[in-house]
Amino acid sequence: MMASCASCFLLVVMFSASCKAITSSDQMCTEKEANKTYNCENLGLAEVPDTLPNTTEFLEFGFNFLPTVENTTFSRLIDLIFLDLTRCQINWVHEDTFQNHHQLNTIVLTGNPLIFMAETSLNGPKLLKHLFLTQTGISNLGFIPMHNLENLESLHLGSNYISSIKFPENFPIQNLKVLDFQNNVIHYLSSEDMNTLKQATNLSLNFNGNDIKDIEPGAFHSKIFQSLKFGGSLNLSVILKGLQNTTTKSLWLGSYEDTDDEDLTSAMFDGLCEMSVESINLQKHYISDLSSATFRCFTQLQELDLTAHHLRELPSGIKGMKALKKLVLNVNRFDELCQIHAASFPSLTDLSIKGNMKKLDFGAGCLEKLENLQKLDLSHSDIEASDCCNLQLKNLHHLQYLNLSYNEPLTLQSQAFKECPRLEGLDLAFTHLHMKGPQSPFQNLHLLQVLNLSYCHLDTSNQHLLEGLEGLRHLNLQGNHFQDGSISKTSLLQTLSSLEILILSSCDLLSIDKQAFQSLGKMNHVDLSYNSLTGNSIDALSHLHGIYLNMAANNIHIIPSPLLLTLSQQSTINLSHNPLDCTCLNIHFITWYKENLQKFEGSEETVCANPPTLRGVKLSDVKLYCGITAVGIFFLVVFLFLGTVLLIFSIKFLLRWKYQHI
């Protein structure tokens, strides 16, 4: 009985440690890069905080209160390169506000109700390149200060009340590359207006959301643009007629969901014959009299986007489109793949039929004339095939990227992609895959580098499933399940010696064999998040160095001391949303964690779950006292006293027994 009591006292001493949270004061601004990049948005600030270092280069200061900006407002931040003042209720920008900011190249004033900008308000920066005056109430371009804009490359004036694009005389426009007038009230474009832009070359000009009712003949004559955007215009015939003798790489004429525009006719596109354009976007329109003649003036196009055109079939007999390299037919209503009449576009390298509104029949040999095709996207189209995919992909020997994700179940043959030996990227995510036999359907894809098999309901017990992929670098197996919730040392991963990125999140994993990743020595990114792994699973990564390791949202309570060496070898670690133990049983890990905070991401969500008094406290704010406390000392003294008494009584008992038996 006495020995039992002594043991109890000893246990009390051993566990008489105390713990508490040290709460650090929150910084007003979020530091993104030490001494350089800070986010001070939406903090109710009326001035620059003193805690912001003078070396700050990138500052997001939006959604604060700065009705007036003066030359003293940001004067000490002389290294600023980027300054975002979105929605700071700025009314006045005074003289020489940025006179000391010689490196400043981007100023964002979006969403401020500007009343006045001094003529010299933008003086100071030597290379001011980007100016955002979106939604600032500007109605006249004469409002914009002209001083010090000689190097300006982009000017954003969207969502204002501008009706004329005529710039003041001598406005420095020669270096402009982007000029954004979207969502203004511009209804007419004259030759005089456009002549003010003649000094700008290869300009990207955005008129999206303006109801252009007329363009003066010759306004765009002999002008060269990088891109022109007239999205949402109600009368495309006016636009195409007004753009005669224009050269542009890209022409965006798409519509929007909330735009009640008229149906298009083939005759409206006659204007394309009088201009030079490489790429056209016509999304969300409807051509009422679609025929092969509709494409008469499309012969020079290299890219064509007919997204959401209510197309059930492309006309057969389209001629002269040998220059077309990219065709986008997303969100249409084809019944089968052969209805696009692919032979009309023999030079295609990129074809997208994503999000078809009806179940799409994959067909057989529908694309065989596209022998130059390199990229094919058929995702989200309810494709189903019981014998995939060589007949369907016949003659696509140059295909490099194939997306069949988010489709109906596919049954893959052995060497299912034999027709596409040059595939480098294959996406089958969220498509239920069945395999014909144990052999790998991917075994001839020796050049494949990226494979997405997430949520494919794979039979992961098939060790041959990924054979032949010796060049694979990126593998996503998210959402697939492994037998008994464990990855064994003989798993399907063993043949992937070149793998660099492995995603195994949400796989219901309980454990990983220590040898499971032994053959994957080149890995630099491992995502094991949202499983039920414990700290011991880290041992499977002991041979890896410098990796990004994500073990967020697992079942990690305690990380044993011997595994800290494995963690210390890695570059970035995420242990957030784990039920971490913040008692002295985990003291070695907690101490190491606080000494290596720079390695961890998600620190705000890396919190204690136990003991209850520290639940929800950030691990970095916890301090443990694991020595002997005053209570522990008291019990230790009592224990020693009782031990001494017990020893004395034992000696007396032995001596008495000895004398009694002499």
Look at residue 4 and tell me whether its pLDDT is greater than 80.
no
pLDDT at 644: 78
Domain that holds residue 320: 290-383
In Å, how far are 76, 105, 586 from 79, measured between CA atoms? 9, 11, 44
The end-to-end CA distance of the chain, in Å, is 30
Single pTM value for the model:
0.86
Look at residue 23 and tell me whether its pLDDT is greater than 60.
no
pLDDT at 402: 98
pLDDT at 528: 98
Mean pLDDT across 176-186: 97
| Distance, CA of 167 to CA of 258 (rounded, Å) | 31
Please name which of 378, 474, 392, 381 lies closest in space to residue 425, comparing C-alpha atoms.
474
pLDDT at 609: 96
Q: In this structure, is residue 324 part of a structural domain?
A: yes
Mean pLDDT across 437-463: 95
Instruction: Name the residue with higher pLDDT: 41 or 5.
Output: 41
**Which of the residue ranges 58-62, 221-225, 578-582 would you say has the lowest mean pLDDT?**
221-225
Q: How many domains does the chain have?
A: 1
| Distance, CA of 635 to CA of 44 (rounded, Å) | 54
| Distance, CA of 375 to CA of 422 (rounded, Å) | 11
pLDDT at 638: 75
Question: How far out from the chain centre does Cα 291 lie?
Answer: 40
pLDDT tens readout for residues 401-446: 999 999 999 999 999 999 999 999 999 999 999 998 889 999 999 9
Q: In this structure, is residue 349 part of a structural domain?
A: yes
Look at residue 20 and tell me whether its pLDDT is greater than 70.
no
Look at residue 613 and tell me whether its pLDDT is greater than 90.
yes
pLDDT at 256: 84
Please, what is the average pLDDT of the chain?
A: 91
Run of H or E residues at 643: helix 630-660
Q: In this structure, is residue 294 part of a structural domain?
A: yes
Cis bond before residue 8 (omega within 30° of 0): no
Q: In this structure, is residue 378 part of a structural domain?
A: yes
Look at residue 629 and tell me whether its pLDDT is greater than 90.
no
Q: In this structure, is residue 403 part of a structural domain?
A: no
Q: In this structure, is residue 626 part of a structural domain?
A: no
pLDDT at 245: 92
pLDDT tens readout for residues 276-304: 999 999 999 999 999 999 999 999 999 99
| Distance, CA of 337 to CA of 431 (rounded, Å) | 18
Q: In this structure, is residue 376 part of a structural domain?
A: yes
pLDDT at 17: 41
On whether the CB atoms of residues 36 and 629 are closer than 8 A, the answer is no
Q: Which residue has the tokens 């043949």?
A: 495
Query: Residue 338: which pLDDT band, with cuts at 50, 70 and 90?
Result: very high
CATH number at residue 349: 3.80.10.10
pLDDT at 2: 36
Query: Residue 647: which pLDDT band, with cuts at 50, 70 and 90?
Result: confident
- Identity of residue 62: G
- Token pair in block for residue 232: 């949402």
Q: In this structure, is residue 339 part of a structural domain?
A: yes
